Structure 1
Amino acid sequence: MKLKSLIVLLLAGIWGVGSWWWYTCKVKGFCGADHNVTQVAAGTATGAAALSGQAAADKAAADAKAKADADKAAAEAQTKADADKAAAEAQAKADADKAAAEAQAKLDADKASAEAQAKADADKAAAEAQAKLDAAAGKITMETNEAAPDTGTGIDPALMYFPTGSANPQLADSAKAYFEKVATFLKDNASGKVTIVGHTDNQGKADKNKALGLKRAEMIKKMLTDMGAPADRVQASSEGPDKPVADNTTAEGRQKNRRVEVTPAK
């Protein structure tokens, strides 16, 4: 009897505990609350940790990108600085080369000018020496009349120098070349003309000197007409001793005064 009662009580207790568990855990769901809270808290912590790790990773990535961008900008700046430096050096070299070339060109030009001047001086000295030889040989010598204005014909006015007391001496070679040029000018230019004026020194009578000056001028005119120049466009006259250009008291001055001035004109 007692055993049966105990068994019944035990079964009743098991049923009561089971019923309570069923109602509390299965129906109400209270049994898993703490567990769920723990899981939620754990999930939240895990999520937070994950979020924190992601933020740290993102920040690290951003920092790495910023550094990469800074390194790239620095490299580009250095490249530009190197390029600018190279360009500046190239320009400086080009400028130096240009300056050197200009300096060399100036030196060459100066040298050429000096050589040309030396040649001109040598030619002038040779011409003067030849003129002296021609004058000593009793020939008519010639030089450019630098005091006369430009005629615009391309032919310089000239001075012909005669030996003492002569009216029909031979022409020096330089004088022949000049008259050939004047004759060609007159033949090629219908409006061209030439004036020829004879001058003498003051030795002897003035009227005879004037006649001598005219004779010399007419001799030059005949030379031109013999070369084909039209006679009507060659005018000859004489000033005799009236217009000296040098001192008649010296042999050199008298030589300069015994001249014939030849002036081409359009």
Structure 2
Amino acid sequence: MYSEVVVITGVSSGIGRIAAEAFAARGCRVYGTVRSLGSTTPIPGVELTVMDVRDNASVQRCIQSIVDQAGRIDVLVNNAGVNMLGAVEETTLDEAQAVFDTNVFGVIRAAQAVLPHMRAQRHGRIVNVSSVLGFLPAPYMGLYAASKHALEGLSESLDHELRQFGIRVTLVQPSFTKTNLEAHSLRAVSPIPGYDLERALVSNALVRQLDSAPDPSTVAKTIIAAALGTWRMRIAPSGQASLLQKLRRFMPSSPVDASIRRTFGLP
């Protein structure tokens, strides 16, 4: 008998993949969603299933199939996400909408598909993977930061609405993690030359940060704690993320601003 039925989106690589493995190691029945089965390496103990969080029919079909097989869903981890590199001015509305379609509307689609089942069973946990950029700004990642800021507000409101049904929502806020984030980031397709110098500085700083960042296992442990442990609204993994959370809360805005510019190599 499995302890919990867990659905985690975006498990083809990075944090999602490691988290799926960790849930399976805990004895959970784990369904990991991917956009294409053919291009995904199997994960031991994880049942891979096709879902495109940008497509409502795909999300509904996937969730119903899981409920038909497992009988319930105890935990939904909204992990799927995309980054966007580019100045706000040079990012088209179509590009901005693409980021929000995955990072915000994808979360809404998955939650709306799962919640009728969680409400009927009178329990559940939704874990939304946010970022330190959900409470800090990031130059040349404005659309990504905006989507994570939106996710933070959405999650807190949703948690208030769902408590009456025995369902809680929590946020995990990782910092830089050794994944393929920079390589897989969307980039504004119509760059403005005036931003070239600073954009390159930020891109290079991001590569350096990712090269020296911890592997995803720390974030995966935090996701498991958020899903299966005592409820907390926000949980930052130990290390840089936890430190940044405290700095944002207690430090004056001017030193925080200066620290952000140093981190990204901006004068």
Q: TM-score range by the shorter chain?
A: under 0.3
Q: What TM-score results when the alignment is normalised by the length of structure 2?
A: 0.28
Choose between structure 1 and 2 for higher RCO, CA contacts under 8 A separated by at least 6 residues.
Answer: 2
Query: Under a length normalisation based on structure 1, what TM-score does the superposition of the two structures give?
Result: 0.28
